[in-house]
Chains A and B, each alone.
Chain A
Amino acid sequence: MNKELEHSFVELLEKHQNIVHKVCRLYTNNYDAHNDLFQEITIQLWRAYPKFRGDAKFSTWMYRVGLNTAITLYRKSKRTINTQDFEGVAFKIKAEDYDNTQEEQLKVLYKAVHQLNDIEKALVFLYLEDKDYREISETLGISEVNARVKMNRIKTKLRTILNP
């Protein structure tokens, strides 16, 4: 691969790196694991870059590669992903952390989102990134209706946690 291509890729990644960091933040829970996943996403982005066509936005393309790497390709045992049931998490959080201030609500929400399963996290991530249901459905490969239904279920779960 030529230097020019490498240079343009690195510049773009440096500019949009926050997207990758956000994926890492959602799917990992310590500094080393974050860096590991960032490294793997970078490799996957770089390998796919020659096929990247300018007709899609670089950031949009990054969401797809980043999430695919996090939920499908990446394997490192030290990265511990908690995939407990939401209800189980809610029960624990309610007892320990619930408080009605906004800051506490956020703390509880982040904690809860962090313990969703991989697919639910991907949905929440794309939603938080302001993606519409068409894009969410295309990124995950499910129908738009089902993406919407699942998202509503996640919202209901979160509501239950905050308003028991």
Chain B
Amino acid sequence: MDELDLLKKDWNKQPDNSHRLSVNDIYPMLHKKSSSIVKTLFYISIAELVFWILLNIIPYCYSNDYREKMDLVFNRHMITAITIISYAVILLFIYLLFKSYKSISVTDSAKKLMKSIINTRKIIKYYVIYNLIMVFISTAFGIFYSINHDPQFADFLNHSKKEIIILILVSIVTVGVFMAIIWLFYKLIYGFLLKRLNKNYKELEKLEV
């Protein structure tokens, strides 16, 4: 007899009575909170959106100095254009995330379900990459502008070349460290959350080779 047929015979003959639940046991279970990875992923994506939106908005709202500098660097039209573009990007990501979450269905095949979750995670990843690139560009632009227009900075420029190089290096390292921390944090969260899913997805992919 086939080993699995032996197992099958036994598997089907023993009902699991040790855990058997009544209708009254099941009712309250319907209203408990889910601990699925999709739910966690959803909360993380909301947190990512809020974090980057706040990071962009707070300095402008609360720091007069920052606002004055921004007004000095860009004219009104340019500020409006940048604001519209950045909000459009945020809205685009919200839309893509929403669409992606809607496509996750527990009644799909295992592979399709995993693929939908991986795609959703990718959208969050692109959002983080977009923000990190924006941090890099705006820092580079800020330094470039300060060198050319900021009187305080111009004074500083009169100092030795060595000091300027140190300043630029420190700026690059600070931004680099900030970006690396965000990226590591991101990798850690998703690595931990989706470790099993990725492993199972690879296993299914392997079967199709």
Contact = CB atoms under 8 A, between A and B. Distances in A.
A58 interface: no
A94 interface: no
Contacts, number: 163
Contacts of B16: 18, 21-22, 25
A86 interface: no
Secondary structure call for the B interface? helix
B199 to A, nearest CB: 8
B29 A128 contact: no
Interface in A59-79: 61, 64-65, 67-69, 71-76
A18 B106 CA distance: 20
B20 A140 contact: no
Please tell me the size bucket of the interface on A.
Answer: 35 or more
B203 A119 contact: yes
Given A14-B22, A22-B16, A142-B111, A47 B106 contact: yes
Given A14-B22, A40-B35, A158-B3, 17 more contacts: A6-B30, A34-B19, A38-B19, A38-B29, A43-B33, A43-B36, A46-B30, A48-B106, A72-B110, A72-B200, A73-B113, A74-B36, A119-B204, A141-B110, A146-B208, A155-B4, A159-B3
13 contacts: A10-B26, A14-B21, A14-B23, A42-B30, A47-B34, A73-B38, A73-B113, A83-B199, A106-B7, A124-B4, A130-B8, A150-B207, A155-B2
